[in-house]
Amino acid sequence: MSENKVLTGGGLLFEVLQEHGVQHVFGYPGGAIMPIYDALYDSDVQHFLCRHEQGAAFSAVGYARAAGKVGVCLATSGPGATNLITGLADALADSIPVVAITGQVPTAAMGSDAFQEIDIFGLSLACTKHSFQVTDINDLEKVLHQAFEIALEGRHGPVLVDIPKDVQLAEVTERLDKLSHLKNKVKLPLADISKALDLLTHAKQPILYVGGGVGMANAIEEVRNFAEQTGMPSVSTLKGLGAINPDNENYLGMLGMHGTKTANLAVQNSDLLVVVGARFDDRVTGKLDEFAPNARVIHFDIDTAEINKRRAADAAILGDLKGNLPLLSMELSISAWQEELQQMQKDFGWRYDHPGENIFAPAVLKTVSDLMPDNTCVTTDVGQHQMWAAQHMSFDDPSNFLTSGGMGTMGFGLPAAIGAQISRPHDTVIAVSGDGSIMMNVQELATIKRYQVPVKIVLIDNAKLGMVRQWQDLFFDGRLSETDLADNPDFVMLSQAFDIKSQTISKKSQVKAAVEEMLDHDGPYLLRVQIDAKENVWPLVPPNTANDKMMENV
Amino acid sequence: MSTANLNKYQLIIMADDKQVVLERILQVTRYRGFLINGMNAEVNTGNNVATITMTVSSERPISLLIDQINKLIDIKGVRVDNSAVNNKQQTA
Ligand SMILES: Cc1ncc(C[n+]2csc(CCOP(=O)(O)OP(=O)(O)O)c2C)c(N)n1
Ligand SMILES: [Mg+2]
């Protein structure tokens, strides 16, 4: 910045972003955020113009999740701000550190139903971890620092900072000489270590139940060591996938509604659950009263409010998993239990010997998983393809599998992949999407085109809102209400309109070559995989049913 | 919701004096399934700390609400002022 140019609120924003190591932001301009975009013009922060604010929010989420940093998105007031909300809700549900900056009408106009005025501060209450509205330029710097601190403190989450236009334009006269940190609240001294050790020593059929908190606590190594040293069989939630090394012989896969048969039966028969960074989500537990009915519970979490929320803990250990879990490490004599479960895994393993010429989606995703380079980051949309990806692809780190877990938001996959690719330019990024989901943020193909983001898209095309169709078939007498997408656009032609190389495959014999071509291609690529509309995701625990009463494709 | 057989609790909440803090408490209280029977809020202008007393009722254990209110950034502390009820001890 030139010497004689005064620092404005907008300029200050980018200085603070850079102090927090932010190099990339995702956004969309408009009237009430123009001073910030004017300051961007002079800034070294790189901005990616998304084609919808929801795309910007999800790219920030993907960026944060793939890189383990805070993702930042910008939007103007009114409709720009409201378009961020789904992304913020998604980040809240999955505890993702995101800072969203919204422009607001000038302070003097606030509360007058001004053009493009919406009370985004009020709207933010239910979909952010915290939010600020800055009405005085002298508060701006402190608030921005706090926003980053809050996003990353304890359980991560999204923070919104709403900045009226006059504050963006105002001259900054004083800078903070030191950062004032948040007063850390005194945490409950809940750490029933000796109770937990006692439970562990007496357990004959323990299970390690691994959630998304493990990756966020940076405790993958500790959890893997614990699994090795105890030999405890482990299961993972959707968001925990990758935390346990998939080659661990006592790892049983995902539990819950579409979990593996072995994982669900093991949990149901366990006498102790060691829960790390997980929260007994209803998609995990099935019918809560019948979930792991004979198990005692040791619950590790950073969030006090998760302890005893859905399942009472016999021993609760609050705080940093990284430091706490090793306190429990010990050798266990559970070989009978291990062997029983290993045998079940052999008996109930996945099968890919699907009859006929048509493509079997699980097999395609298995092929992609086998052929993709190390450290590939996979994102998904929401539906059957998401569950197939979770079941049939292998990940060695949770930051390599980005999926909308808590919110289950269609439209997540494509913009999240863009954000992931920008944060990790040297890694392969693959978005596994569905023909329904991709249309929810299809405009982001233009972002791919503009920045030549080399994302690979595997579009599992069943010409249906497949997951809803599956439920209609199973639970609503086959009354297929509004789930047919036979009139989808020509996805190959659509891709080509955005300079994205593309082809369709529909036969098993084409799969390997097509996946190789996609992975070898330098730029963005969309592989449309036509599958049979009638395929279902198995196993399935019907809603509000115990996890051992799963439906299977037999 | 029928208000019969609901447990009643009185909460005392200490918070930073921010305009939005009341809205946050109301939102969390409603969302977590508690009815508000009465509320009083005052600010100590000396130290800018707001004290909010709130009577709530629910079928759910009060510890669920205390933990969620306590999680709000602007909250300094929450406790139950009702010796008759069983609850987790909370101080902050
Ligand atoms: C934004 C949003 N709207 C609606 C839903 C409900 N929903 C869940 S899965 C699904 C179908 C998804 O279709 P598609 O992307 O083609 O995936 P498929 O199940 O066919 O693999 C729908 C509509 C949702 N999860 N998110
Ligand atoms: Mg589909």
pLDDT in the model for residue B87: 43
Alpha-carbon distance of A324 to A397, in angstroms, equals 21
pLDDT in the model for residue A409: 98
Joined tokens for residue A71 = 């993702």
Q: Which residue has the higher pLDDT, B44 or A407?
A: A407
pLDDT by position in tens, chain B (length 92): 555 678 999 999 999 988 899 999 999 999 999 999 999 999 888 888 999 999 999 999 999 999 999 999 999 999 999 754 444 444 33
Domains assigned to chain B? 3-91 (3.30.70.260)
Q: Is the peptide bond before A326 cis (omega within 30 degrees of 0)?
A: no
List the single residue in B63, B73, B91 with the smallest CB-CB distance to A130: B73
Alpha-carbon distance of A151 to A479, in angstroms, equals 44
Joined tokens for residue A505 = 């495959």
Our CA-based measurement puts residue A130 at a distance from the nearest CA of chain B, in whole angstroms, of 7
Asked whether the predicted pLDDT for residue A168 surpasses 80, the reply is yes
Asked whether the predicted pLDDT for residue A422 surpasses 80, the reply is yes
pLDDT in the model for residue B89: 41
Q: In Å, how far from its chain's centre is CA A471?
A: 24
Cβ pairs A/B, distance under 8 A: 35
CATH 3.40.50.970 residue ranges of chain A are: 2-175, 361-530
* A304·B24 Cβ contact <8 A: no
Joined tokens for residue B73 = 């950034």
Q: Lowest mean pLDDT of A181-185, A318-322, A364-368, A388-392, name the range.
A: A181-185
CA B80, B84, B89: angle at the middle one, nearest 5? 40
Q: What is the pLDDT of residues A249-270, one digit of tens each?
A: 999 999 999 999 999 999 999 9
Query: Quick one: closest CA in B to A188, which residue?
Result: B90
Cβ atoms of residues A392 and A444 within 8 Å? no
Burial class of residue A373 (count of CB atoms within 10 Å of its CB; 0-12, 13-18, 19+):
exposed
pLDDT in the model for residue A467: 98
**Is domain A361-530 classified as CATH 3.40.50.970?**
yes
Taking residues A355-362, what's their average pLDDT? Answer: 96
**Is domain A2-175 classified as CATH 1.10.510.10?**
no
- What's the CA-to-centroid distance between B83 and ligand 2, angstroms? 56
Q: Which residue has the higher pLDDT, A152 or A182?
A: A152
Alpha-carbon distance of A217 to A219, in angstroms, equals 5
Give ipTM to 2 decimals.
0.92
pLDDT in the model for residue B43: 86
Task: Give the gyration radius of chain B's Cα atoms.
Answer: 13
DSSP helix/strand/coil, A174: coil
- Phi/psi of residue B43, nearest 5 degrees: -115, 135
Residues whose CB is less than 8 angstroms from the CB of residue A396 and which lie 6 or more positions away in sequence, other chains included: A242, A245, A246, A374, A375
* A125·B73 Cβ contact <8 A: no
pLDDT in the model for residue B47: 86
Which residues of chain B neighbour A307 with C-beta distances below 8 Å? 67
Q: What is the pLDDT of residues A170-199, one digit of tens each?
A: 999 989 877 666 665 655 556 899 999 999
* A182·B68 Cβ contact <8 A: no
- What's the CA-to-centroid distance between A411 and ligand 1, angstroms? 9
Torsion sign (Cα): A9, A15, A18, A23: positive
Q: What's domain A193-347's superfamily in CATH?
A: TPP-binding domain (3.40.50.1220)
Asked whether the predicted pLDDT for residue A152 surpasses 80, the reply is yes
Q: Find the length of chain B.
A: 92
Taking residues A92-101, what's their average pLDDT? Answer: 98
Confidence of residue A155 (pLDDT cuts 50, 70, 90): very high
CATH 3.40.50.1220 residue ranges of chain A are: 193-347
Any B CB within 8 A of A303 CB: yes
Alpha-carbon distance of A304 to A309, in angstroms, equals 9
Taking residues A345-355, what's their average pLDDT? Answer: 95
